[in-house]
Amino acid sequence: MTTALITGSTAGIGAAFARRLAADGHNLVLVARDTKRLREQATELHDRHGIEAEVLTADLSAEEGIKAVEERVGRRRDGVDLLVNNAGFGNKGRYLEVPLADELTMLKVHCEAVLRLTSAATEAMRERGRGGVVNVASVAAFVPRGTYGASKAWVVQFTQGAARDLEGSGVRLMALCPGLVRTEFHERAGMGTDNIPKWMWLDADKLVTAALADLARGKSLSVPDPRYKAMMGVVKVTPRALIGGVTSRTGRKYGPK
């Protein structure tokens, strides 16, 4: 039986990955900061699907948290077959309105942790000749708007580059770029959502189904919804200065976690 490790597993997209992978018979390593929620989630998934669910409490904005997860994904015995780097957050406010310390914390979670966990996991996976990594980014990666989008653009470029370097190794890497998903993300960041059209919201469980299908097909980039694929097509042919002006007026809305 294979094992999947999911960061940010207790809510949103991470929880949807946990539900789907448990239903498919995968053992899980659940990673988040809240031990109580992790244990409740592990018990529920074990009781419902009969899988083993290991709990790993870790704060990926802290060195000790990253090290703990690095050690777990890098094991050669009882290793991880699938890594889902999902942990993340958003800051409310425009550039220079957000404290620099908060911006640096975002980069540690979105970039440093993703780099280190992916590297530890794929090194072990390459030795076994199999495995997969899903790095959750965002459609914000394609829009010039603030640190959040910039960090997610890094995730996309890193993941696709690493996927090319590991071609033929049996290890697949994919950047997942969802649009708006109804999760705790916006509430935690203090972002209002009342002005966002209903059609822009995605269902987390359907998103995960599409993402896993794309990973199985060997895609290195997944935008798992026709609406957002169409929007990204428009973005590609629209001058970046114009896109930047629009996003500057509307503020930071895109946050998939």
CA distance 31 to 73: 11
CA distances from 60 to 69, 110, 126, 151 (A): 9, 9, 24, 15
Asked whether the predicted pLDDT for residue 207 surpasses 80, the reply is yes
Place of tokens 């239903």: 23
The CATH number, out of the four listed (3.40.50.720, 3.20.20.480, 3.40.50.2000, 3.30.930.10), of the domain defined by the range 3-250:
3.40.50.720
Paired with 195 in beta bridges are none
Residue 108 is given by DSSP the state: I
Q: Decide: helix, strand or coil at residue 112.
A: helix
- For 208-246, write each residue's pLDDT tens digit: 999 999 999 999 999 987 777 666 665 654 444 434 443
Domain ranges, ordered by start, for the chain: 3-250
For the annotated catalytic residues, the residue numbers are 148
- pLDDT above 60: residue 188: no
pLDDT tens per residue across span 83-136: 999 999 999 898 999 999 999 999 999 999 999 999 999 999 999 999 999 999
Per-residue pLDDT of 42-93, as tens digits, reads 999 999 999 999 999 999 999 999 999 999 999 998 999 999 999 999 998 9
Do 86 and 136 form a contact (C-beta atoms < 8 A)? yes
pLDDT for res 255: 45
* pLDDT for the residue 257: 54
- Greater pLDDT, 247 or 184: 184
Identify the weakest region by mean pLDDT among 8-12, 54-58, 198-202: 198-202
3-state secondary structure (DSSP) of residue 47: helix
Residue owning tokens 């965002």:
138
Alpha carbon distance 216, 212 (integer Å):
6
Tokens of 224: 């798992």
Block residue for tokens 């509307």: 250
pLDDT at 197: 59
